[in-house]
Structure 1
Amino acid sequence: MTTQIDSFNQVIQKNVYTLSDITNSIAYVSVAGNDYYDYMAIDGSLSGFPSFIESVIKQTTTNLIHLQSLGFKRIVVGDLQPLGCLPQATAQNSFQSCNSTFNDLVALRNNLMKQSITKLNQETKDHTTFTILGLFDSFRSVLNHPSSHNIKERLKPCCIGVSDEYTYGSVDSEHTTNKYLVCENLESTFFWDQLHPTQAGWNDVYNELEKRGLHQILY
């Protein structure tokens, strides 16, 4: 993210965007689930996860201050959705329940991020507002009350490999036969693949975000 912001600053220096463009825009910052899953993928340990989270929060906070220095007056940070409910985490129990350990770590991360945002808002001198986009609560509301959103399959993904050795989008060695299956009830399934919601799933999450004040963040 630091590199991306530096690259964006170079674009600003070339006058691609004016200061007015920046001050009237919203900067949305996302440190997504992949950043945390990658930690585990390279032999990270659960015991070391809290320290890793703290280091990510510290760097994210530095990046937010950098964005503020570029002229952004409205900076929105997405909190993490319940990663323990992603099919990638629930496959081990046949998509029956969320992984509470992962979700507890997500809760820790989100709480630390909220503390950082509160501190930034208290210390800012130029009327910049830092806001959390509540993805965690919005995802959880849909997943905890699927029937209220016409969701019949809340944890099992629509697109899945035909066996454990395959995943979504897999084909055979000759690239002639699909090695994945796609559900028939896409509109009532929350997850498309191991990580991403379906369009219907995102629509439900968006509606929950609207209930939680998305309009006030955007306008």
Structure 2
Amino acid sequence: MIVLSLIVPFPITGAYVDPDRSIKLFVFGGSYVDTGNRDSTARSWKEPYGITDPGRPAGHFSDGQVFTEYIASRMGIKSPTPYRFRNQRPIKHGMNFAYGGTGVFDTWVAAPNMTEQIYLFEQLLQEKIYTRYDLKFSTALVSASGMDYRIYLARRGSLRGFPAFIISVVNQLGLDLQRIHDLGVPQVAVMGMQPLGCLPEFTRGYSYEKCNSTGNFAALYHNLLLVKKLKPESKFVVLDMYNAFMSAMKKFENKTGDFPIFM
């Protein structure tokens, strides 16, 4: 099932929720959800990042809030603490393991990929930082924003083998999502792929005036495979980022007459 909003499995009407146990959000992925895990040498700690919100660079790969903060707000909690600051900041609302520039597999960025991020989460559980009871009222947000595909095309320079690679990425992503659930998170929300063909590197050949159909086809194929893999499982929710992005870009284009691109 594809939905546009996160389905939060708590509180259930009539069910008892321990007031001492707060709702928690655990986040895995890359730049679309990273709230400060990359070190100070990353561009996310330099202007113009963060100049709109919080008013200064804060490790977010955006001039304002990233998707993690929108979801946390929807859940009625503060944005979860980045893993990097786990010993300096409160962790009652969960933890963010995402690192900008990473993917399902290894990328050019020397930071934990998706599988390694989940391992960091598992370590905290083994250390009893979070208990199974803590996870009872938790949700995971997972973002695979296409870095694997961007690097594949940059390295290969060809579409040969690309469909098979997309299948491998989705298969591994499915294993990662199941692993998060098996560790005790009752519901896992995964962001579908946004229209990759509208990224600057894909639109450069069109003078940034239209999206690349090949990139968008890859995103749609990824989403189709992902939904097919997860559809029978109510514990997984796929967020329809493709149509959300396209709708926002269309609205901007109608309003300004200019074609928008995004990072």
Fold conserved (TM > 0.5)? Answer: yes
Q: Distance in 2 between matches of 1:78 and 1:95?
A: 25
Q: Distance in 1 between matches of 2:138 and 2:259?
A: 35
Quick one: higher RCO (CA 8 Å, sep 6+), 1 or 2? 2
Q: Distance in 1 between matches of 2:189 and 2:157?
A: 29
- Structure 1 residue aligned with 2:37: none
2:242 to 100, 114, 136: 136
Q: Distance in 2 between matches of 1:93 and 1:65?
A: 40
Residues 25, 74 of structure 1: 8 Å contact kept: yes
Matches within 5 A, 1:21-40: 21-40=134-153
- Structure 2 residue aligned with 1:64: 177
Q: Distance in 1 between matches of 2:127 and 2:157?
A: 40
The amino acid across from 2:245 in the alignment is: F
Write 1 or 2 for the structure with the bigger share of helix: 1
Q: Distance in 2 between matches of 1:47 and 1:7?
A: 35
Deviations 1:15-67 (A, max 9, x none): 11122222211111111121210111221631311100100111111111111
Q: Higher Cα Rg: structure 1 or 2? A: 1
- Structure 1 residue aligned with 2:4: none
The amino acid across from 1:135 in the alignment is: M
- Structure 1 residue aligned with 2:201: 88
Return the TM-score normalized by structure 1. 0.64
The amino acid across from 2:193 in the alignment is: L
The amino acid across from 1:139 in the alignment is: F
SS of aligned partner of 1:119? coil
- Structure 1 residue aligned with 2:25: none
Is residue 2:212 matched to residue 1:99?
yes
Q: Distance in 2 between matches of 1:88 and 1:155?
A: 13
Q: Distance in 2 between matches of 1:99 and 1:107?
A: 13
Return the TM-score normalized by structure 2. 0.54
Distance apart, 1:147 and its partner CA: 5.0
- Structure 1 residue aligned with 2:260: 155
1:53 to 151, 166, 176: 166
- Structure 1 residue aligned with 2:252: 146
Moved beyond 6 Å, runs of 4+: none
- Structure 1 residue aligned with 2:76: none
Unaligned runs of 5+ residues in structure 2 are: 1-113
Q: Distance in 2 between matches of 1:44 and 1:13?
A: 43
**What fraction of aligned residue pairs are identical, expressed as a percent?**
37
Distance apart, 1:151 and its partner CA: 4.9
Is residue 2:232 matched to residue 1:119?
yes
Residues 252, 260 of structure 2: 8 Å contact kept: no
Residues 86, 155 of structure 1: 8 Å contact kept: no
RMSD of aligned residue pairs (Cα, Å): 1.7
Q: Distance in 2 between matches of 1:2 and 1:151?
A: 41
The amino acid across from 1:97 in the alignment is: K
**Pair 1:24–1:35, CA change in 2 (3 A):** same
Deviations 1:67-108 (A, max 9, x none): 111111110010011010112211111111110111111111
The amino acid across from 2:118 in the alignment is: I
The amino acid across from 1:30 in the alignment is: S
SS of aligned partner of 1:120? coil
Q: Distance in 2 between matches of 1:44 and 1:5?
A: 31
- Structure 1 residue aligned with 2:68: none
**Pair 1:11–1:44, CA change in 2 (3 A):** farther
